[in-house]
Structure 1
Amino acid sequence: MAEGSDVIVADAGFADAQLSDIWHFLRSWISNPLRVGAVAASGETLARLMTQEIDASAGPVIELGPGTGVFTRSLLARGVAENDLTLIEYGDEFLPRLKRRFPTARVLQMDAARLRKARLFDEPSAGAAVSGLPLLSMSPRKQTAILAGVFTYLRPGASLYQFTYGPRCPVPRRILDRLGLKAVRVGGTVRNIPPAAVYRISRRRPFDFSSGAE
């Protein structure tokens, strides 16, 4: 009986945390819909799809726009060490939760478009990057800056995983071509609000990202 009660209490606590995240995300969307990009945090199915090709050997891992930490938790479940995570979050409203939930991760408040100037690592050492940013709502200039910035830190063979609610890759072909990148759809899910697809963005040819566009 005691064990069953403990399980119920634990489940209730997790449900309360999820409900809190939903309301927190919704309030953030209402206050700034273009920056947040969606009315609800990404679901667990999408999180698994985003991280299915990442494991412990990928560390360090960069996450852009972690929000309430849905993808972050999935990365941990995949075996990535918490202290191997660098979380880049712009919104004040999400930072306290991220620091509390992932105390040994490196949590930085900054605009992802300024990544190239941030000197996150001394050399390209990250084995993967995951993006929860609403790229569809961003200008081509900002998309270019974000991609050039993140690939500055990705080692050879590493990829950026980006999801979208649209019917195609959120990064236009001309930007991918300019940066020597390619995008491959790795899957989609209708078990998300709204339905989403995931793309793997990787290098197609050598490119000096340290001198990429601002």
Structure 2
Amino acid sequence: MTASSKRRLAADPLNRTGDDARFFKGWLKRPFVTGAVSPSSRALGRAMSRFVPDGVVEAGDVVLELGPGTGVVTQTLIDRGVAEENLVLVEYSAEFCALLKARFPRATILEGDAYAPLEPGALGGRRLGTIVSSLPLFTKPDAMRETLIGGALDTLPPGHPFIQFSYALTLPVKPERLGAQVELSPWVKLNLPPARVIVYRRTAP
């Protein structure tokens, strides 16, 4: 854990009980937006963060996180070595956005629909290196899932990952429909419910 991570935890610990309550409240209000009744576990976040390429971390490329919620996965990205200022977080919930701004003041927090294309200039002219998604894709129709992941791969450099987690046995989108390759992690049993990481990449034509 980095020194900045330790300071943040000392000043504003990621209170699991409080975050669970916030997530459950969000789920009650918008079940198909929140998608889960509790935040992802740190074990799942670490499993996702391992797929961020070393080159992205070293080059200072932007890591775009879709649906960060209360910031559990965000913190594991920082622990992985991603600089906080290189994080761009897109979150629908105004309450979660306020929490994220307090916890990660150097990150760029965008309140809005993560399924919509980013506004021009959202990345500040920097190169996008990786997309990490905690969106509940299976609450959306097939066409919307395909549009999201396909559009994400269109914006990423060849070979760079779109990282998603899922509780389902099936893939959110078959890779051949995207002209992509897919890599799966082992099931993360220290998550409730157990989940696995799905990584889509598209190589250069």
Q: Given the two structures, how large is their TM-score scaled by the length of structure 1?
A: 0.81
Larger radius of gyration: 1
Deviation (angstroms), 1:125 = 2.1
1:9-39 Cα distance to aligned partner (Å, 9 max, x none)? x88x737x22111110111011111111111
> Structure 1 178/120 Cα, relative in aligned 2: closer, same or farther at 3 Å?
farther
C-alpha separation in 2, matches of 1:185 and 1:118: 32
Percent of paired sites with the same residue: 35
Matched with 2:190 is 191
Matched with 1:59 is 61
Aligned pair 1:76/2:78, yes or no?
yes
Matched with 2:108 is 106
CA RMSD of aligned residues (A): 2.4
Name which of structure 1's ranges 108-117 and 132-141 shifts more when overlaid on structure 2: 108-117
> Structure 1 87/187 Cα, relative in aligned 2: closer, same or farther at 3 Å?
same
CA contact (8 A) 2:62 2:126 kept: no
Of the candidates 143, 146, 163, which is equivalent to residue 144 of structure 1?
146
CA contact (8 A) 2:88 2:123 kept: no
Matched with 2:48 is 50
Matched with 2:158 is 156
Matched with 1:134 is 136
Q: How many residues align?
A: 193
C-alpha separation in 1, matches of 2:40 and 2:61: 23
SS in 1 for 2:185: strand
C-alpha separation in 1, matches of 2:21 and 2:73: 18
> Structure 1 153/123 Cα, relative in aligned 2: closer, same or farther at 3 Å?
farther
SS in 2 for 1:24: helix
SS in 2 for 1:129: strand
C-alpha separation in 2, matches of 1:48 and 1:178: 28
Aligned pair 1:41/2:43, yes or no?
no
Question: Structure 2, unaligned stretches of length 5 or more?
Answer: 1-8
Matched with 2:96 is 94
